[in-house]
């Protein structure tokens, strides 16, 4: 047979010697098929070079395996922060191996939740992954159709409908701050991320928890407001330094801000690792390749993306999925040695 021809499901069924229903079940994954028949159908599809019509498959009750990867971050944040590059790479690797068809699009924080949901409905996606969500997840629940599968990258708050894959950011903030305390730091700054994001609030909470456990004061003037960008950390630290206050440790809520803090400290003549110790968060290459290398809390960014994709693939097969919490660990660099 000529593999360039456009075949119908009926012709695939006839060529494989099985029913049309069996071919449909194999293609859509909507029911269990005997292993010998499944292999026969798959071999026939491959031999004939059959390409299913995704929209027709959906109308027949199956799924087209078209998925959306939503990133609620600016394009600048995406391209400058290596954390997101690793997350998306993990997601795309698994998605392609599971024959999913991902579409990446950015959702501006200036757009409403309803705008996002309308875009997803118009796109007719079978499942959606959402990363970097900035707002109350319960608001989104009100707009999303009941049949829309969504998995979040990161714990975005209590939800009865949506699962997530993420880390315990509060534990990470505590681990970073405790490391600075163990290194002898007595006056520890933190540069927060955008506190509209739950991850930033949790990392700040971990910082405060570690200080309290060590019987150290949580001093508001030592909490500097950043937004996860290098520029915000540089501006916040420069403003703080002008006050002439003393400090000997910094916990930056991500590695980009740690790089910004390091740049300012070196420019101002501080011996980082001796005069001031510094810890970031993410475990990205910019922390490892920095001079000096930056101590960081490592979250498995590639695994975060890949696990979200795996859960979407399972959900599309109508298999149950649950939220997944990934492990964190401290990676010591020169900034705390």
Angstrom CA distances, 214 to 174, 189, 247, stand at: 11, 15, 17
Could you read off the pLDDT of 249-308 as tens digits, one per residue? 999 999 999 999 999 999 999 999 999 999 999 999 999 999 999 999 999 999 999 999
Domain hosting residue 35, numbered range = 9-53
End-to-end CA distance of the chain: 69
Angstrom CA distances, 205 to 172, 198, 215, 257, stand at: 10, 10, 15, 18
Neighbouring C-alpha atoms within 13 Å toward the C-beta of 115: 8
Instruction: Please give the model's pTM, rounded to 2 decimal places.
Output: 0.77
Q: Are residues 288 and 311 in the same domain?
A: no
User: Is residue 58, in this structure, part of any structural domain at all?
Assistant: no
Edge to edge, the sheet with strand 295-298 lists 223-225, 188-192, 249-252, 277-282, 295-298, 329-331
User: Is residue 198, in this structure, part of any structural domain at all?
Assistant: yes
Could you read off the pLDDT of 307-330 as tens digits, one per residue? 999 999 999 888 999 999 999 999
pLDDT band at 54 (very low <50, low <70, confident <90, very high): very low
Q: Are 255 and 294 spatial neighbours (Cβ–Cβ below 8 Å)?
A: yes
pLDDT of residue 1: 41
Taking residues 218-247, what's their average pLDDT? 96
Q: Are residues 158 and 195 in the same domain?
A: no
Alpha helix stretches (DSSP H) within the chain: 9-16, 20-28, 35-48, 54-59, 75-80, 82-97, 113-123, 137-143, 169-182, 198-213, 230-241, 255-267, 285-289, 301-316
Q: Are residues 182 and 279 in the same domain?
A: yes
Q: Are residues 175 and 243 in the same domain?
A: yes
192 alpha carbon, distance to own chain's centre = 19
Q: Are residues 249 and 174 in the same domain?
A: yes
Please say if the pLDDT value at position 3 is more than 50. Answer: no
Q: How far apart are CA 120 and CA 149, in angstroms?
A: 11
Taking residues 211-227, what's their average pLDDT? 97
Q: Are residues 21 and 71 in the same domain?
A: no
Structure token digits, residue 76 = 């600048």
Q: Are residues 213 and 267 in the same domain?
A: yes
- At 33, which CATH number? 1.10.260.40
Q: Are residues 155 and 243 in the same domain?
A: no
pLDDT band at 35 (very low <50, low <70, confident <90, very high): confident
pLDDT of residue 66: 80
Contacts 24+ apart (CB under 8 A), 107-115: 107/70, 107/71, 107/72, 108/72, 108/74, 109/72, 109/134, 109/135, 113/139, 113/140, 113/143, 114/143
User: Is residue 237, in this structure, part of any structural domain at all?
Assistant: yes
Q: Are residues 98 and 177 in the same domain?
A: no
Q: How far apart are CA 193 and CA 232, in angstroms?
A: 9
- Above pLDDT 90, what percent of the chain? 54
Q: Are 335 and 293 spatial neighbours (Cβ–Cβ below 8 Å)?
A: yes
pLDDT of residue 2: 44
pLDDT band at 60 (very low <50, low <70, confident <90, very high): very low
User: Is residue 26, in this structure, part of any structural domain at all?
Assistant: yes
Q: Are residues 22 and 132 in the same domain?
A: no
- At 92, which CATH number? 3.40.50.2300
User: Is residue 44, in this structure, part of any structural domain at all?
Assistant: yes
- Name residue 224's beta-bridge partners: 191
318 alpha carbon, distance to own chain's centre = 23
User: Is residue 60, in this structure, part of any structural domain at all?
Assistant: no
pLDDT of residue 49: 72
Q: How far apart are CA 35 and CA 322, in angstroms?
A: 28
Q: How far apart are CA 236 and CA 22, in angstroms?
A: 63
Please say if the pLDDT value at position 133 is more than 70. Answer: yes
φ, ψ for residue 280 (rounded to 5)? -105, -165
pLDDT of residue 52: 55
Structure token digits, residue 229 = 């960008």
User: Is residue 59, in this structure, part of any structural domain at all?
Assistant: no
User: Is residue 161, in this structure, part of any structural domain at all?
Assistant: yes
Number of separate domains in the chain: 3
Q: Are residues 190 and 287 in the same domain?
A: yes
Q: Are residues 179 and 279 in the same domain?
A: yes
Helix (H, G, I), strand (E, B) or coil at 307: helix
53 versus 14: which is more confidently predicted? 14
pLDDT band at 37 (very low <50, low <70, confident <90, very high): confident
């Amino acid at each position: 047979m000529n593999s360039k021809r456009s075949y119908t499901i009926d012709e695939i069924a006839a060529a494989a010697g099985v029913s049309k229903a069996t071919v449909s079940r194999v293609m859509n994954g909507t029911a269990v098929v005997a292993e010998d028949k499944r292999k026969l159908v798959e071999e026939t599809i491959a031999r004939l070079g059959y390409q299913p019509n995704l929209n027709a498959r959906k109308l027949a009750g199956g799924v087209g395996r078209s998925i959306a990867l939503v990133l609620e971050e600016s394009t600048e944040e995406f391209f400058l922060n290596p954390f997101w590059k690793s997350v998306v790479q993990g997601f795309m690797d698994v998605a392609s191996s599971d024959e999913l068809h991902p579409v990446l699009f950015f959702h501006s924080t200036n757009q409403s939740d309803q705008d996002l949901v309308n875009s997803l409905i118009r796109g007719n996606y079978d499942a959606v992954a959402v990363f970097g969500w900035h707002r109350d997840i319960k608001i989104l629940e009100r707009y999303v159709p009941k049949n829309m599968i969504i998995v979040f990258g990161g714990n975005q708050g209590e939800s009865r409908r949506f699962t997530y894959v993420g880390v315990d950011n509060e534990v990470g903030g505590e681990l970073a701050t405790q490391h600075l305390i163990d290194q002898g730091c007595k006056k520890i700054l933190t540069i927060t991320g955008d506190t509209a994001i739950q991850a930033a609030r949790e990392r700040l909470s971990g910082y405060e928890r570690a200080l309290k456990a060590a019987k150290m004061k949580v001093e508001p003037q030592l909490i500097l407001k950043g937004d996860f960008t290098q520029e915000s950390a540089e501006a916040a630290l420069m403003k703080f330094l002008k006050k002439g206050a003393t400090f000997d440790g910094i916990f930056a809520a991500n590695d980009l801000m740690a790089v910004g803090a390091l740049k300012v400290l070196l420019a101002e003549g501080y011996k980082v690792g001796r005069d001031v110790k510094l810890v970031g968060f993410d475990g990205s290459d910019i922390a490892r390749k920095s001079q000096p290398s930056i101590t960081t809390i490592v979250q498995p960014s590639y695994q975060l993306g890949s696990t979200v994709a795996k859960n979407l693939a399972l959900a599309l097969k109508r298999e149950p999925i649950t939220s997944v919490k990934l492990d964190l660990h401290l990676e010591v660099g020169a900034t705390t040695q």
